[in-house]
Amino acid sequence: MEIANNSLTITIAGDDNADRDVTAFCQLVQGNLDVLRREYERDKPQLEQAVSQAAERRKAEIAAESDRDSKHHSFTVRH
């Protein structure tokens, strides 16, 4: 199996079981994607809250740094 930017390449033996093997692989991948979708939907509120909190913390850090820099330097400091 090889994964690239926009493709997934699998190698299947060209025998009488090829159709069955491809179907089984596709079903496995679809099942995994379904699980990931359900987990994402379940965890989405917590993820959004964590991102929002991290953004607010960083915003406060930048404000504190800017305030500190404006009091201690006669020049502009860009973050």
**What are the domain boundaries of the chain?**
2-72
> With a cut of 70, which residues of the chain have pLDDT below it?
73-79
**pLDDT value at position 72?**
73
Residue 4: phi and psi, rounded to 5, are -120, -170
**pLDDT value at position 33?**
96
Q: Are the beta carbons of 27 and 17 closer than 8 angstroms?
A: no
Span 2-14, pLDDT tens digits: 889 899 899 999 8
A 10 A CB-CB count for 60 gives 10
**pLDDT value at position 78?**
67
